[in-house]
Structure 1
């Protein structure tokens, strides 16, 4: 289990996407913070310890009980290798951890919820087969042997805890939005048109996400009616070579009752190597989103949070949700078009203003800034993904993930920061 260090600042609460988090934060004893989550060792690969961590891909507050929270892992420890990934522990199951701050102010794990297929069997983080959400990635074990696929496999990245006790989880394969029971059993898998899962669908164009750059963020509006997801980077629409607008990515909304979707354009500050990660709701139209790159904070990393508003933005779903390249202007996909062309066509992206620069504000050191939770009163909880304590050594083998400024092993760390 990875350690999560909390900031010496007072932590108000953790919530997936609520605008009334001040209620949740009352009467919780945080006097003993900072503290670390308990963690164990998953494996030792080539002399490198792989920790049972990764609980930084997403977080949510319990919707009704003060001081209780959920955190989720991604697909498990992995390294780059050939045309895919080495899965260092291939049987790893993406997992939700339920914990609380108890009366003594200590972190107390309540239970672990391992994700399961509709039959109740444990899933893995292995890629989906062709036709079921495949990204084209090949899975290998730590020795370089080819592994299989998992029809219900998930590269989970964000979590929503619903009032009815169920969970909504977004992933980077399909991309899928998966609805799980309170015990982690799959209830519904919502995927793009053309992906052979479920009857309710996302627009077909979303299947052109880049491998490992799918639906990175997910939240629910405060009224509980709409899921809002962020695509991590510019999608390959119509192809990798032709997707030249590398600052354009998309936000998608899904009406839970009707299944209707909308899409909005988001203009990144950076480019193809940067990411739009987690999202958290301030209202039904206002949100906070992460923009980051892959560098450590002390090495010039970009780690910012923006306030965005979708109310004046154009819905770019188009009239044909089955169109694999989505809406076009002047015969070109949106990702092929310049922002001047997009503006001339009368399309408006979401508006955005800087809420906080974590490197400037906190001297934020981590590379994978992947979680944000609005706490109310202009306070924001932020945390990182520690990659299970390992990174690629350049040849597909793991090495310990070290923070360059401190020389310490990277651990999941939660901070609370004031935002504008």
Structure 2
């Protein structure tokens, strides 16, 4: 097997979704009531990119080829970007989730933050380095897979990330769900903070009321840096079908405030992929169906507003980008016009300027094949110009 080496690091995400309803599919195809966003940049990291000189990975996948790739792997794959932070120098910090999709098959997948640099002139993404996540001071209260307290995909399933003004990272997990606070070297700073009253099937406390892999899929820092908003991917038992809780967290107090809002999916079978603050009241949210390739019908970016001006009990929503229908007159990356981003999991969005966003897929290596059937998806990095300005808080636009 040919492997592409990169000076990098690693992480992933796998989330099962369902097929969209006919009504939702027709709405997605109609383009009604919105301007057309445009592709302005395309770059990709090859699926078979590995951390050089790292540890073996994928032993629990067996030896049967998946999309033409045969596990296990001699090194850690750089794969499945599930959260993104923009840096001041044009690079980005990207995380991937728990590895190969479950606790059972990801014990040899080491959780890491990768520093990546897209080169849109060359359509490439370079992996510049990164850090491994660890818990050297024993903050995680349950047994870890490794005695050296390096955190693996069998311990925690990180799906979202943001960074504070002090350079430390906050990450949202799906196994608790928990919020976790790491320093700039990837060391856990405090015990994981559980969401009160909500438990996933993997939570040691038991009595789950949230579906598996349905924890914190979106995590964003407020413009003033005082609070986090953590968006669940799944509906808590007892809530209206297709509604997701957006939870406020006080950074200084290291605790959830108890304040919540509701985000309503266009279809209960859909899921969100990421969220990023636009200002104190608004955020961008990726919403998607479960399909890939030609079958993909709903992959969207919404502008959601907490103020609920129509008083229906959920965030107001306006679609700002249909990722399956992006204008591409220059045929960037050799792709057709319109451009389609037809992946099962699209799990990264960040704001580049008041009218431009970056979006990345989670390639679920080696499982997903949305771009070319039978071939593992690359990690694709696209920039999208919106039809209208966001009028974002200037602090959001400022590069850190």
TM-score (norm 2): 0.68
Preserved contact between residue 192 and residue 207 of structure 1 (Cα < 8 Å): no
Match of 2:93 in 1: 70
SS at match of 1:298: helix
The 8 Å contact of residues 58 and 108 in structure 2, kept in 1 or not, is answered as: no
Residue 43 of structure 2 is matched in structure 1 by 34
Q: SS of 2:324's equivalent? A: helix
Match for residue 290 of structure 1?
A: 286
Return the match for 1:358 from 299, 323, 335.
323
Residue 381 of structure 1 and its aligned partner are, at CA, apart by 0.9
Q: Does 1:281 align with 2:284?
A: no
Distance in 2, matches of 1:96 and 1:66, equals: 17
CA distance in 2, matches of 1:246, 1:69: 35
Task: Work out whether 1:93 is the aligned partner of 2:95.
Answer: no
Distance 1:402 1:157 in 2: 20
Q: Is the alpha carbon distance of 1:174 and 1:364 closer, same or farther for their aligned partners in structure 2, counting shifts above 3 Å?
A: same
Query: Contact (CA 8 Å) 2:43, 2:380: kept in 1 or not?
Result: no
In the aligned structure 1, how far is the partner of 2:243 from the partner of 2:196? 22
TM-score (norm 1): 0.65
User: Where do 1:64-143 residues align within 5 Å?
Assistant: 65-78=88-101, 86-87=104-105, 89-100=106-117, 107-119=125-137, 121-126=149-154
Aligned residues: 304
Distance (Å, rounded) in 2 between the aligned partners of 1:409 and 1:194:
38
Q: 1:284 Cα deviation (Å)?
A: 1.2
Matches within 5 A, 1:150-161: 153-161=155-163
Note closer, same or farther for the CA distance 1:347–1:257 as it changes in structure 2 (3 Å cut). Answer: farther
Structure 1 segment 201-350 matched on structure 2, within 5 A: 208-237=209-238, 245-258=240-253, 259=255, 260-271=257-268, 273-312=269-308, 348-350=313-315
Aligned residues: CA RMSD: 3.3
Change (3 A) 1:108 1:268: closer
Q: For residues 415 and 69 of structure 1, what CA distance do their matches in structure 2 show?
A: 13
Cα distance, 1:194 vs structure 2: 6.7
In structure 2, distance between residues paired with 1:195 and 1:269: 23
**Match for residue 359 of structure 2?**
382
What SS does the corresponding residue of 2:294 show, helix, strand or coil?
helix
In 1, the alpha carbon distance for the partners of 2:224 and 2:212 equals 32
Corresponding position of 1:192: 195
Gaps spanning 5+ residues in structure 2: where? 7-39, 51-55, 138-147, 200-204, 327-338, 388-400
* Greater RCO, CA 8 A, separation 6+: 2
1:168 aligns with 2:170: yes
Distance 2:196 2:276 in 1: 26
Aligned-residue offset at 1:118:
4.2
Once the 2 structures are TM-superposed, how far is the Cα of residue 43 of structure 1 from its aligned partner? 4.4
> Residues 405 and 299 of structure 1: is their aligned pair in 2 closer, same or farther, counting only changes over 3 Å?
farther
* Alpha-carbon spacing, 1:207–1:347, altered in 2? closer, same or farther (3 Å): farther
Is the CA contact 2:43–2:382 (under 8 Å) kept in the aligned structure 1?
Answer: no
Report the alpha carbon displacement of residue 3 of structure 1 after superposing the two structures with TM: 9.8
**Partner of residue 129, structure 1:** none
Deviations 1:78-102 (CA, angstroms, capped at 9, x unpaired): 36xxxxx640x52222111123469
